[in-house]
Amino acid sequence: MRRFLLSLALLVACAAPALGQTAPERVIVRSSLQPESGAVVGQHIRVFVDVLFLGQMPRPPRVVLPDVAGAQVLRLESQATTMSDTVDGQAYAGQRFEFALYPRRGGAIVVPSAAITLLDAAGDAAGAATGQELRVEVTVPPGVDPSGPVIATGRATLEEQWKPALTTVFKAGDALVRTITREADDIPAMAMRDLAFTAPPGVRVYIDPPQSEDRQNRGELVGKRIDRVTYVFERGGSFGIPGVAQPWWDLGAGRLQVARRPAVTVTVSAPPLVSVRDWSRPAAWLVPGLAAAAVLALIGLAGWGLPRLRAILADREARWLASEPKAFRDLLAVCQTGDVAAIYRAFVIWRQRSPSPSLLGSLAEELEQILFGDPSQAAWSPVKRRSFIGKLQAARRHLKQRETERAADARLVLPPLNPPGVRCE
């Protein structure tokens, strides 16, 4: 009996390491695309990675899809679904992982094989597996410009709101807020292009950071982007504000559509002029004239000074909201949240307002790798957060130093030795 118990203990001890691991040969990995063919640039292509375990799945694995050249890849954690199948008469159980791929160019797009980390019941790494490399041919429909973000969907809308209403009587110094809301099925807000907001001379334009309000509708993604711009009228006159347009490829109709809002004209009244008294009149009119002038001055101050004061204050606030220091302060604040998507949006705004945005490419690549790469890396640790903030501060100091040196070099430029038109005797 003692020998039997000792043999049984040795058998269990030898089998224990094997029980805590998942053998790759007991795992089936299947990769597929939907649609497999006929995709156009900007269309949502579903990438499925099925990981099946013989018998039971000890724990859902970690699945990472590497970067895809010429495409943008997104992954929603809620897209993993449990599944089962029978292969060669044996029961398999596992999960299907879904990635959203958006081609940004035409031609052949190669999707690398997925990297899969197998986990044991305790959540520790117990092995590895790989998927299959996939390939899809992407076409560029006629009339579509692939140089910028392209929307290819079955539904896209563009709505516009003005506050206050365009029927309002505007005066010099007043502000008009324009809100553009775009929605598209199967297209995230970050895949929508930036709209061009311009205005004629006499009107200042201040653009707010875009807002993303993506949502899930019965398991399908609905992208929503809100752009808000403020127009401040510096003087009176009639001003034409250009319209906006969002081209998109209609997958159902197979043709190019354009959602647009027309241009509008805003009439702004100029501030009233202050009357000037004629001092050549008889002295008997002097006192009544001074009284009338005082009344007119008060009326002019109320009708002209207050709107100008509002315009000055609105201009000062708008300048601050559109400044580089404000964008950098907002970027540092959002870095504390750990929301990589929000950090990326704030970084893009600060980069646009920086004097040399081309020198910030390495920081942009670091954020894009975290945002579009391994989902497990999306949550920043305190160490990563402090490191990235330090890089931002160092880059900003470097840009300011370059601007100072450039200004100093400009002051040191000597005038030409022999200016044109000057003769030397």
- Which residue(s) pair with 50 in the sheet? 30, 96
The reported pLDDT for the residue numbered 40 is: 95
Residue 15 binned pLDDT confidence (cut-offs 50, 70, 90):
very low
Same domain? For 106 and 211 the reply is no
State the Cα–Cα distance between residues 64 and 377, nearest whole angstrom: 11
Same domain? For 158 and 255 the reply is yes
Whether the pLDDT of residue 305 is over 70: the answer is no
Lowest mean pLDDT of 63-67, 300-304, 407-411, name the range: 300-304
Same domain? For 111 and 161 the reply is no
- For residue 375, is it within any domain? yes
The reported pLDDT for the residue numbered 139 is: 94
Same domain? For 118 and 164 the reply is no
Lowest mean pLDDT of 137-141, 212-216, 355-359, name the range: 355-359
- For residue 61, is it within any domain? yes
The reported pLDDT for the residue numbered 79 is: 60
The reported pLDDT for the residue numbered 117 is: 93
Q: What percent of the chain clears pLDDT 90, i.e. is strictly above it?
A: 45
State the Cα–Cα distance between residues 83 and 80, nearest whole angstrom: 10
- For residue 341, is it within any domain? yes
- Of the three residues 112, 139, 166, the one that is the final residue of a domain is 139
Same domain? For 242 and 350 the reply is no
CB atoms within 10 A of CB 121: 13
- For residue 314, is it within any domain? no
Same domain? For 103 and 67 the reply is yes
Same domain? For 226 and 126 the reply is no
Residue 368 binned pLDDT confidence (cut-offs 50, 70, 90):
confident
Residue 372 binned pLDDT confidence (cut-offs 50, 70, 90):
low
DSSP 263: -
Q: What percent of the chain clears pLDDT 70, i.e. is strictly above it?
A: 82
- Of the three residues 69, 104, 139, the one that is the final residue of a domain is 139
Lowest mean pLDDT of 44-58, 184-198, 409-423, name the range: 409-423
Yes or no: say if 299 and 292 are a contact pair by the CB < 8 Å rule: no
Residue 416 binned pLDDT confidence (cut-offs 50, 70, 90):
low
State the Cα–Cα distance between residues 112 and 374, nearest whole angstrom: 14
Which CATH number belongs to the domain containing residue 177 in this structure? 2.60.40
DSSP 305: I
The reported pLDDT for the residue numbered 33 is: 94
CA separation (Å) from 106 to 69, 136, 249, 417?
12, 10, 14, 56
The reported pLDDT for the residue numbered 374 is: 54
Whether the pLDDT of residue 77 is over 70: the answer is no
Same domain? For 185 and 246 the reply is yes
Average pLDDT, the chain: 82
Who's near 238: CB < 8 A, 6+ residues apart? 265, 266, 267, 268
Tell me the one-letter amino acid at 372: F
Which CATH number belongs to the domain containing residue 50 in this structure? 2.60.40.680
Same domain? For 258 and 231 the reply is yes
Using CA atoms of 78, 371, 107, 141 in order, give the dihedral in degrees to the nearest 10: 70
Name the pairing type of β-strands 125-130 and 115-119.
antiparallel
- For residue 162, is it within any domain? yes
Whether the pLDDT of residue 78 is over 70: the answer is no
Across 190-194, average pLDDT:
88
Whether the pLDDT of residue 300 is over 70: the answer is no
The reported pLDDT for the residue numbered 20 is: 40
State the Cα–Cα distance between residues 149 and 105, nearest whole angstrom: 9
91 membership: H or E segment, kind and range? strand 90-103
Yes or no: say if 72 and 104 are a contact pair by the CB < 8 Å rule: yes
Dig out the tokens for 58 from the structure: 């000890």
Across 327-347, average pLDDT:
85
Across 34-39, average pLDDT:
92
241 membership: H or E segment, kind and range? strand 237-241
The reported pLDDT for the residue numbered 285 is: 56
Who's near 73: CB < 8 A, 6+ residues apart? 47, 65, 67, 99, 100, 101, 102, 372
Whether the pLDDT of residue 278 is over 90: the answer is no
Whether the pLDDT of residue 9 is over 50: the answer is no
Same domain? For 115 and 33 the reply is yes
State the residue range of the domain holding 348: 324-409
- For residue 32, is it within any domain? yes
Comparison of pLDDT for 287 and 252, the residue scoring more: 252
| Three-state DSSP state, 358 | helix
Residue 147 binned pLDDT confidence (cut-offs 50, 70, 90):
confident
Same domain? For 254 and 329 the reply is no
The reported pLDDT for the residue numbered 303 is: 64
- For residue 420, is it within any domain? no
Same domain? For 73 and 172 the reply is no
Whether the pLDDT of residue 315 is over 90: the answer is no
Task: Report how many domains make up the chain.
Answer: 3
The reported pLDDT for the residue numbered 14 is: 42
363 membership: H or E segment, kind and range? helix 361-372
- Of the three residues 274, 299, 334, the one that is the final residue of a domain is 274
The reported pLDDT for the residue numbered 400 is: 85
- For residue 250, is it within any domain? yes
